[in-house]
Amino acid sequence: MIVQMVRNSNAIVLALAGLLLFVSPQSSLSEEPGQPQPLGQLPKVRIPSHNLQFDDKVALGKLLFFDSRLSKDGSVSCASCHVPAAGFSDPRQFSLGVGGKQGGRNAPSALNAAYNHLQFWDGRAGSLEEQALGPIQNPIEMAETLEGVVKKLSRNKVYQVRFRAVFGGDISPDNIAKAIAAFERTLISTNSPFDRFIGGDKSALSEAAQRGFDLFQGKARCVLCHNGPNFTDNKFHNIGVPQTGPLKEDVGRYAVTKRESDRGAFKTPSLRSVALTAPYMHTGGFKSLDEVMEFYNKGGEPVTGKDAFMTALNLTDQEKKDLVEFMNNLTGELKNMSLPKLP
């Protein structure tokens, strides 16, 4: 009964949301796959046929994820910027790479990245496999070459044996990417209080969280972008986030598509386990969910090209607290958190 009520209310809100976005000529939505979906429990992760999933491959990918030998000077691993205790995000505003170089964006969470249609804040990678090799070669991040990584790993007998066992061949960039992606597809945040609530457990959410859930779908309009089982429309929006940090201007999705409507637009992040992943936005400019709510309540900053639906919400202080309480209840159970013993 509860599930049906949720679906019905979502359907109404999403229909209105779709109409609002469709008629908005200023909307900076990218034409990426994915129609608005009802909020709900996560489906099983889709495994690509070119990278089938099995335990030994996942275990190898986990080793690589935590191994700083993927960086030029051995100081940075994937886990350096995707910290397990921080929901596989970076608790720093901007990540630090080899030599202390500072990036211009806050590292997005790797949790539930398996459900993303595109990777990175600007969507420049089409798969987890493609994404895995990006930071290795980025001069501000790991500053290594793929050839250099292969040479280093090939000198390790344990890696030699494990790559042959998993892939039937030698270490290669393609196999490194496949192993890391296989591990990342296991980083799923589920069985949250919200999941239990829509599964029929009426006691899973407090009264405040339930009020926040209603606001999320209604007055606060969060569901316009944060919809579907993973609480993201997998699209790109300019919501009026002020530019902070070392970049004078960050054009976002525009750098990939060259569409003017995508200037300043960034991917809608999942809200699952969002309470763990502060600071928030691509700039890391908000330290808490309370600050995020204040930002949305005033309709964002008056930046050029801001999406038309970003207007003041006129929420009361209690309503903002209820929304934060609901988002706190999106924190799920995290697996694969233990640190591996590197060879």
> Are both 108 and 158 inside the same structural domain?
yes
| Residue of higher predicted confidence among 36 and 184 | 184
Peptide bond into 279 cis (omega under 30): yes
On average, the pLDDT of the chain sits at: 90
Indicate the residue among 168, 184, 200 that finishes a domain: 184
> Are both 212 and 169 inside the same structural domain?
no
> Are both 237 and 321 inside the same structural domain?
yes
Indicate the residue among 184, 201, 222 that finishes a domain: 184
Q: 72-78, long-range: CB within 8 Å, 24+ apart, which pairs? A: 72/98, 72/142, 72/143, 72/144, 72/148, 73/98, 73/99, 73/143, 76/141, 76/142, 78/110, 78/132, 78/135, 78/180
**Residue-level pLDDT at 336:** 60
β-sheet bridge partners, residue 77: none
> Are both 214 and 152 inside the same structural domain?
no
Cβ distance 144 to 72 under 8 Å? yes
Whether pLDDT at 3 is above 60: no
**Residue-level pLDDT at 37:** 82
> Are both 170 and 101 inside the same structural domain?
yes
| Residue of higher predicted confidence among 249 and 66 | 66
Indicate the residue type of 190.
T
Residue 334 lies in a domain: no
Residue 339 lies in a domain: no
Cβ distance 230 to 115 under 8 Å? yes
> Are both 229 and 193 inside the same structural domain?
yes
| Residue of higher predicted confidence among 13 and 160 | 160
**Residue-level pLDDT at 158:** 97
Span 323-336, pLDDT tens digits = 999 999 999 998 76
> Can 141 be counted among the known catalytic residues?
yes
| Residue of higher predicted confidence among 24 and 158 | 158
> Are both 164 and 114 inside the same structural domain?
yes
Whether pLDDT at 118 is above 90: yes
* Cα within 13 Å of Cα(277), Cβ side: 27
Mean pLDDT of 177-197: 97
Span 289-310, pLDDT tens digits = 999 999 999 999 999 899 998 9
Span 19-54, pLDDT tens digits = 333 222 233 333 343 456 899 999 999 999 999 999
> Are both 180 and 300 inside the same structural domain?
no
Which structural domain range is residue 313 located in?
2-42+189-328
Residue 306 lies in a domain: yes
**Residue-level pLDDT at 337:** 74
Whether pLDDT at 14 is above 50: no
Residue 48 lies in a domain: no
> Are both 319 and 197 inside the same structural domain?
yes
Residue 139 lies in a domain: yes
Residue 336 lies in a domain: no
**Residue-level pLDDT at 35:** 55
Based on the structure, what is the number of domains in the chain? 2
Indicate the residue among 184, 208, 224 that finishes a domain: 184
> Are both 206 and 155 inside the same structural domain?
no
Alpha carbon distance, N-terminus to C-terminus of the chain: 52
Give me the CATH number covering residue 158.
1.10.760.10
Residue 340 lies in a domain: no
> Are both 234 and 198 inside the same structural domain?
yes
Mean pLDDT of 134-150: 97
% the chain with pLDDT above 90 = 83
Span 80-103, pLDDT tens digits = 999 999 999 999 999 999 999 999
> Are both 171 and 82 inside the same structural domain?
yes
Whether pLDDT at 71 is above 60: yes
Residue 337 lies in a domain: no
Whether pLDDT at 235 is above 70: yes
Nearest C-alpha neighbor of 180 from the set 230, 145, 130, 144:
130
Buried b / exposed e over 64-95, threshold 16 CB at 10 Å, is bbbbbbbbbeeebbbbbbbbbebbbbbbbbbb
In DSSP notation, 109-137 reads P-TTGGG-SSBSTT--BSSHHHHHHHHHH
Selecting among 141, 144, 184, 319, the annotated active-site residue is 141
Cβ distance 69 to 153 under 8 Å? yes
